[in-house]
Structure 1
Amino acid sequence: MNTWSQVADIQPLASKIITNSMEKGRISHAYLLQGERGTGKEAIALLVAKSLFCTAMQGIEPCNECNNCKRISSGNHPDIHWIEPEGLSITKEQVNHLQKEFSYSGMESNKKVYVIKDADTMTVNAANSLLKFLEEPSKQTTAMMLTENSGSIIPTIRSRCQVIDLKPLNPVHFQKQLLSEGMKEPDAILMSALTNSLDDAFERIGDEWFAEARTRMLQLVEMLAAKSENVYLYLHSHWLTHFKDRKQLDQGLDLLLLAIRDVLYYHIGNEANMTIFKSGNAFLEKSAMAFSQERLSDILNLILQAKRKIKQNVQPTLVMEQLVLQIQR
């Protein structure tokens, strides 16, 4: 999305809020953009920055051709600063460094923009340091905080930002987009359930690690359905050796969630919306016999709880051991 008209097609409310502020000359000193991955948070942050620095604006639209616009697109503008987690968190030291940078005059104007990706990962100390920064905003400074979970942002920061919720993308629309880009239909159906990002979808489909992840997920479901005594051995020797970090484990849980949901869909006759399995799959029918509709609903909630624990930095091995134990009760 390179223009506000393109944003309006995907995120009409966000586009209207920000462009109305631009037209009135009342850009907020701080925005908190909340939305799932692929909903356009970074694209909107870039457009706000371009709209502030573009030297050849066409109404509310940045030209995307001037030197400033090109440098912003490439991440090389000296008065626009990006912060993202170092490891799992955004640290106090990163925020302090940002404050130091902003104590100097702008390199080319008095305007400055900073963008904080995954703002919900800020440590308590980092959030408190940022709060001091937000309490005394400069008229020439614009903050853009991006998050998938604004509930993890401390209330005192939220209250000083204009919060904009980005709606999830329509999966059917995204499927059509993937198909038009040459992706096979079964893959497009699966990817539209896993991500809203075109680049991410094609990266996963071509990734050997992801292909193996699907295989190991199906093996785990099979062992859970059979109530195998070897499920814990499998968990440690095959599952945790493949899903080695929190991001990978979260993707594995996403796949597991979709597979269990498919089994529930099979139970209730909603096979048209399945993403992992196809109708008539013997493994699907076997799994449906192993779990009742009520139990499948319980398992879906257990997987969602496990995903939340991963985001809360609970030890991954413990999360998976508890999940398997709860499913096999």
Structure 2
Amino acid sequence: METWPEVAEIQPLASRIITNSIKKDRISHAYLLQGERGTGKEAIALLIAKGLFCENNSADEPCSHCNACHRIASGNHPDVHWIEPDGQSIKIEQIRNLQKEFMYSGLESDQKVYIIKGADTLTVNAANRILKFLEEPNKKTTAIMMTDNSQSILPTIRSRCQVIDLKPLNPVNFQKQLIEKGMHNRNAVLMSALTNNLDDAFTRNNDEWFASARKIVVQLVEVLSSNPEDVYLFIHQHWVTHFKERSEHEEGLDLLLFAFKDILYYHIENEAGMVFFAPSDELLEKAARRFSQEQLLDVLQTVLQAKRKLKQNVHPTLVMEQLTLQIQR
């Protein structure tokens, strides 16, 4: 999405609210863009920034061709500052550095923009520091914050922003887009469950690491269904050696969650809901014999609990050991 009409096709309400503000010259001093991954947060942030700096701005649509638009798109404009999580969070040092930048006038105009990705990861100290920016807005300063997890944003920050809710994308329409662009049907179903972003979907689809991750999840389900006494060894020989970063463990747990959901769907004969396994996969029948519907509901809750532990910085290997032990019982 590179123009407001393109955004309007996916997020009509958000597009209308922001473009009306632009037409009336009533751009908010702070926006909070909240929605699931792939719903267009970054595209909207870029369009707002381009509109403020575009050298050929025609009414409410930036040209996307001038020097300013190109530099904003590439992340190289001196008066547009991006802040992203450093590791698991955005730290107070990052906000201090941003404040130092804002002590100076803009290099090319009086206008300044800062864009915060993953605003829900702000530490308490960093969030309080940002709050001071928002409490004393400069007419020429625009803040754009983005989050997948709106519940983690401090109410005091939320109250000082114009909140833009982005609706989830229609997975069926997204699957059709993927298939039209050449992706295999079953892969398109899984990718639409994992992401709403076309580029992200095709990157995963062509990624050898992701292909191996899918195989490991299948193998883990096989071990849990047939040889649960071997699962501890499997975790250390295969899972831990492949899923190294915390974010990779989270992705593996997402796949495992889909796999066990499919087994439950097999029990209740809901083939349409399956995203990980093909309905004809023989492993589904084997796993369904091993796990009752009640057990599967417990397993799904256990996987969700494991995901929460990862967010709480519990060591990933310990999380997986506890998870598989609980599933075995």
**Range 269-278 or range 6-15, more displaced:** 269-278
Residue aligning to 1:83 = 83
Please give the secondary structure, in 2, of the residue aligned with 1:82. Answer: strand
Contact 1:82 1:115 in 2 (8 A): yes
Contact 2:46 2:72 in 1 (8 A): yes
CA apart distance, 1:33 = 1.1
Cα deviation, 1:10-42, whole Å, max 9, x if unaligned, reads 111211221122222221111111122211111
Please give the secondary structure, in 2, of the residue aligned with 1:33. Answer: strand
Task: Provide TM-score, normalisation by structure 1.
Answer: 0.96
Cα deviation, 1:123-174, whole Å, max 9, x if unaligned, reads 2221121112211111111111111112122222122112222112111111
Q: Which runs of 4+ in 1 moved over 6 A?
A: none
Residue aligning to 1:247 = 247
Equivalents in 1 of 2:14, 2:257: separation in Å? 30
Equivalents in 2 of 1:37, 1:235: separation in Å? 29
Cα deviation, 1:88-129, whole Å, max 9, x if unaligned, reads 221111100101101111111111100011111222221121
Residue aligning to 1:158 = 158
Cα deviation, 1:204-229, whole Å, max 9, x if unaligned, reads 12211111111111111122223611
Residue aligning to 2:187 = 187
Q: Equivalences for 1:269-288 in 2 at 5 Å?
A: 269-288=269-288
What is the letter of the counterpart of residue 54 of structure 2? C
Residue aligning to 1:264 = 264
* Match status 1:226 vs 2:219: no
Residue aligning to 1:314 = 314
What is the letter of the counterpart of residue 248 of structure 1? E
Equivalents in 1 of 2:328, 2:227: separation in Å? 7
What is the letter of the counterpart of residue 156 of structure 2? T
Equivalents in 2 of 1:28, 1:227: separation in Å? 59
**Range 129-138 or range 93-102, more displaced:** 129-138
What is the letter of the counterpart of residue 229 of structure 2? E
Count of aligned pairs: 329
Cα deviation, 1:249-297, whole Å, max 9, x if unaligned, reads 1110111111111111111111123122222321111111111222222
Equivalents in 2 of 1:8, 1:272: separation in Å? 30
Contact 1:227 1:328 in 2 (8 A): no
Equivalents in 2 of 1:198, 1:259: separation in Å? 23
* Match status 1:294 vs 2:294: yes
What is the letter of the counterpart of residue 178 of structure 2? L
Gaps of 5+ in 1: none
Residue aligning to 1:120 = 120
Residue aligning to 1:55 = 55
Equivalents in 2 of 1:162, 1:314: separation in Å? 35
What is the letter of the counterpart of residue 104 of structure 1? Y
Please give the secondary structure, in 2, of the residue aligned with 1:72. Answer: helix
Equivalents in 1 of 2:275, 2:57: separation in Å? 44
Residue aligning to 2:73 = 73
Aligned identity (percent) is 68
What is the letter of the counterpart of residue 221 of structure 1? V
Please give the secondary structure, in 2, of the residue aligned with 1:164. Answer: strand
Residue aligning to 1:146 = 146
Contact 1:271 1:279 in 2 (8 A): yes
Please give the secondary structure, in 2, of the residue aligned with 1:114. Answer: strand
Residue aligning to 1:200 = 200
Contact 2:186 2:278 in 1 (8 A): no
Contact 2:56 2:66 in 1 (8 A): yes
CA apart distance, 1:183 = 1.3
Equivalents in 2 of 1:311, 1:144: separation in Å? 24
CA apart distance, 1:244 = 0.6
Equivalents in 1 of 2:88, 2:215: separation in Å? 28
Equivalents in 2 of 1:205, 1:225: separation in Å? 27
Equivalents in 2 of 1:235, 1:157: separation in Å? 42
Please give the secondary structure, in 2, of the residue aligned with 1:31. Answer: strand
Residue aligning to 1:303 = 303
Residue aligning to 2:26 = 26
Gaps of 5+ in 2: none
Contact 1:32 1:144 in 2 (8 A): yes
Please give the secondary structure, in 1, of the residue aligned with 2:157. Answer: helix
Cα deviation, 1:168-212, whole Å, max 9, x if unaligned, reads 211111111111221121211111111112111111122111111
**Range 42-51 or range 72-81, more displaced:** 72-81
